[in-house]
Structures are given as C-alpha cells and as structure tokens.
Structure 1
C-alpha cells in the first residue's frame, strides 16, 4: 500500500513537471465535451488572460446607493487599470447607477454576487454611434457595456447587470394584460393611431414611422435627423465589436433595451453559465446575436 501511494504521487509529480509524454498524462481541457464527435475541425477556445491585479470601484469615488451616478468612477477605474496593463475591476455589494462603460484590453469587470450595475435611463448619456444592426451599417445609441477592438476582456462575478430597458422599449398592447396596459398608458408616452403600440416618447414613435422592416431608420442625412429618432435607436446591452478573447460568465443580464449580447466579428468568445432575464412582453430581446 505504501509503495502504491508513492507511485501515484510520483506519477502526479512527473506529470506536473512536464513528463506527460512519458506517462500518458495530459492537462484537462474544461470544454472538451463541446468538441466531441464534431463533423469538422474547430479551433478550441481559451479563457482570456487577465493580469493578477484588482481594484475596487469604490477606490475611484463610486457610491452604490442606486441614486448617485457613477459613470466617471467607472471610467477612471478602467483607465487606471488599463494604464497598469489590466486587471480585475471589482464591483462590490450595492446598486451602482451609471452611464455607458467601455472595456479596454486585459480588463475583467467582476460584478460580485450582491452587486447590481444599473444603467441610467438618461438617454443623453448614450451618444449615437456607427454600428451594425441586423447585418446593416447604421447608427444606434452606444451600448451600456461596450468595447471595440479589445483583447482579453471579461464580465464575471455572479452579480447582476440591469439595462433599464423599460425606459427604451416600445410595447405591443397584445402582449400585456388590460391592467398592465392601463398602467403603462398612465405613465405617459405615445401610442400609434390604432392604440395598439405604446412608445416611451415622440422620438421613439417618429423612429417607427421612418424605419424599414429591419428596424433601421431611412432618410437620415444629418446628425439632427438621427437625434430626432434617438429613443428608437435602442442600444444592445453588451455590444462588443472586433474583440478577441472574450469571457462572459456567471452573471445575470436583465432588462435590456434591445438585444442582450452582440459579439460582432469577435474571435475566441466564451459565454458560460450566464442568465438572461427580461419581461415577456419585451420587443427584440434576443439572447445573443452573433
């Protein structure tokens, strides 16, 4: 028994030392089960490499009371980590109201289990930017969480990210109970001529009148034209463009203004053990658009 135990330990030691070829040991790949019996060869995905460094959002003046706007604190935290080569931005317990957050290379947005990042419904915080929607070059409001050309980025931690989508989305009467519809009308907004669709404001309503079947406004020439339909240009909650080595894991995404997750022309993306939750009456709230 004593010799058997020593032999096992020796084999483990050799395997860890790099003698896998001799002993037949190999490192376990966590996503092996996804590649079984594929009819084609597919490159294996790997987690992004995030430096072993962390900062707290509160170190940059943030207040998690659900009322204080923390856009500048998020920006300073991301910029600080970026200047050091990256790391983990830890969002502690609390409700953290903010405008858009832009991720940069080598940064993990770590939303702890008792933390909620809640994006402001103030549409002035979301500039209109060039993007791709429904496969078409167009413009939309910038995504609450966004990145362009970034490498090694992640959103993790077990917390919640709330897009405040109720303040952006139009609603069809047929998707609501009569009492819900009555309350919605009482909140303000506009309806179409038949009273079948509710819009949060005149900008959203106008956008619906000038858009094609792909929900893309037509005839927009000037910046003023685009601004006149801004609310209709609902942002995708997680908008990542041409990024590489991306991980979304163990996070709840809820109440998105439009699509939930849109990794556009990204490479090596892992989406693992996430939850997406939206009202059943929501419009255009696909889980993932790739």
Structure 2
C-alpha cells in the first residue's frame, strides 16, 4: 500500500486528520501556481529531515526555506560526520556525571543524538574559515547560507561524505541556488566561531557575513517578486521560534512600514507545533491570531498539527510527493 493511501485510510480524526487536510492544502496551493516557504526550527537537520526534505526540493515542492543557524550547519555536520554520531536512546536517564563524560569526549548532545565536535564542527570550521578570510580580504560580504553553498559546490567536502549526498537538503538547495533565510545566525555554533575569529582578528570586518536586517531586505525583494497575484506564497512552519516568527513578518512590514499596496497576504499557512497555545507564546499562537498582525487573512487556508514534527513532517511530505 502506498504511504498516501495508508494515511488517508487510517488518519481520520484529530491531529491525524489535520495532517491530511494540511497536506492536501499544500498540494492544492502548489497546483494553483503557488510558491511555498518551509521553515525549520528545533533540530530538524540532526533529526535527518533531509531524507524527505531533499526530495521535496528536488521535485520543486519548496521554493524558499527559512531556518535557524543550527539547522543550516547541522545538515552539513551530518553529511560529513554521520559515522561518528552516537545515539543515546536512554537520554532521559543520564546523570549529571554522564553528561560531563560526554562533554569530555567532545560529544554535544541534542536529545538522543550526540554530535561529534572534532569530526563535525571543527572540520567545517577549518574549511569555512578560509572562505570567510578570503571574502574579508577582498572586501566582499555574503549571507551565511551563501558561504555554505560555496563550500558544498566547490567539492571540498566530498571526500568526507558519510551519508548518501541525496539526503542532504542543503546540498540539494545549493544545486538549485534556493533562497534561504537564516535569522539569528549568530545563535549557532558557526556563529560563535565567526565571532571568535572576528575578536582574534582573523576576520577584520564583522560585516563580511551578512546579518538579519539584510536577510529581511533580501526576503522582501523575493516576496515582492513572487507574490504578484493574490495569495501566491504559502507558509509551512515546522516548529516555532525565530525560524517562523521572523519571515512571516515580511508581509506586515511591506504593508504597514513601507506602506506598499497590492501586496498579498500569505496564501496558505500550516504549523506543526507542540507549543502550548497560551502564556503569550508566539510559537503556540493559533493561526487566527496572525490575522490581527496582518499576516494572514480571514479566508487564508489555515492548519495546525499539534504533534512531533519528526513524525509529522515526513508524512506530510510523502503525501505532497504522491508517495
């Protein structure tokens, strides 16, 4: 039985039904000529979402991605150091001393998965530092994702690949030169490394790597160019946080701050979330709250799937891909 057929037979109520509705809404949006932004929060790259997301990119089911700095880099960490990762199924039972032991082995834990510092983080640092320093020397500046595109497309990392490269979503994005927005890149391992190299003087101009305001300007140009008709750009949000909160604000910025006319609202919205819909949480806010901020309209198709994104996202993607 195809995955899609299985899901439509069994997923009939509550969050499972919302999953089907959201996936069908995603397909309808694309079939009607729409564009789709996918946003990645949490540790989706370490959860190896690239296995399904890379295929979505290959089949043109995603036109732009917003992600945290962690998701940007962790897809590449997994690409070059997968064999050195350690999974800890009993992570809930670890004592403080056991956590300290992981630290002393340079194994940085993300829930049940440990990322190896030397084989992943330091290996990438050595290669990307050359790109930072060359750009700095030449008076050039690029976005964080553009530096990754450079090293991925250069082939410098190929000898280190430890997974099938078709499962790296960032590599697939680089091949298509897909637009990527990375708000708050400074809050990432490589962001910290970059700050250290600016402090030490290896990089003279801190603006060699572009930041969040420039990303918003970049996103606004992209949105204006793509959203030429009513409701042509959709928003598929995986998790919460800045990966979702930052890019969705481009629409009210264009309307309210730049006073631009004929800018359509987002034409589709779905969020996979486990955040509590209370306590002033932006990440947990129901879609209708976004109407009051000028992000979504009364008639915008809206979905929320309250579940674990590592379970839900690949299933939604399977339906969109017709698997």
Aligning the two structures, in what range does the TM-score lie when normalised by the shorter sequence? Answer: under 0.3
Relative contact order: is structure 1 or structure 2 higher (C-alpha 8 Å, sep ≥ 6)?
2
- Going by fraction, where is helix more abundant, 1 or 2? 2
TM-score under structure 1 length normalisation = 0.26
